[in-house]
Amino acid sequence: MSLESSKRVYSVRELIPDDKESVLAIWSEGRSFLKEMGVDQWQKGDYPGEEAFLEDLKENIGRVVVHGSTIVAVFAFTLTPETSYSTLKGSWKTKEGEYLTIHRSAVKKEEKGKGIMGLILSYAADEAARNKKKSIRIDTHEENKAMQSALKKNGFENMGELTLLSGSEEGDKRLGYEKLISI
């Protein structure tokens, strides 16, 4: 899948071992950006970091967005139920197992505002449809206004608050978003 923006072409490809340095740098930059914005998402420990990279690689769920040979964004997606989503205070549009989940998305600072998050969400919609999933779900911190804006712009709805059940941010609250797709 590709996106043309300001005469630049971006494409999505699978994560490979050689991407490690670039991906870790983008995640680190993302942590710094969130901290500067006063958002405590990704501020506990080294998440996402090397362990997440290796898991995404092993499970073949990691993707990068590239311009030429330069990695400009990273994300992962899963097709299995996200246990934390069972804690939603509200209701999802789809049942367990009927959705794709996006995780660990981050865009290089100099590439923000160029439609790359829209490309990621479009890629996820295509993957969801290909795998017969009825929706895409994603969660974000209540103070992460940039992500919330991108999600709303791309047709996602805030479905309510949920609690993370595992990882370095276990117990933290997030807003759950969902978008129905055509399959």
| Span 131-157, pLDDT tens digits | 999 999 999 999 999 999 999 999 999
Query: Which residue carries 């205070």 as its tokens?
Result: 89
Give me the CATH number covering residue 79.
Answer: 3.40.630.30
Domain residues for 35?
2-180
Per-residue model confidence (pLDDT) at position 5? 55
The whole-model pTM stands at 0.93
User: Between the CA of residue 171 and those of 76, 113, 146, 167, what are the distances in Å?
Assistant: 22, 31, 23, 9
The side-by-side arrangement of strands in the sheet containing 157-163 is 2-5, 8-14, 62-67, 70-78, 99-107, 135-140, 173-180, 157-163, 89-90
The number of folded domains in the chain is: 1
State the average pLDDT over residues 151-174.
96
Is pLDDT at 3 greater than 80 in this prediction?
no
Question: What does the alpha-carbon distance between residue 68 and residue 59 come to, in Å, rounded to a whole number?
Answer: 25
Cβ pair 58, 74 in contact under 8 A: no
User: Of 55, 57, 79, 64, which Cα lies nearest the Cα of 26?
Assistant: 64
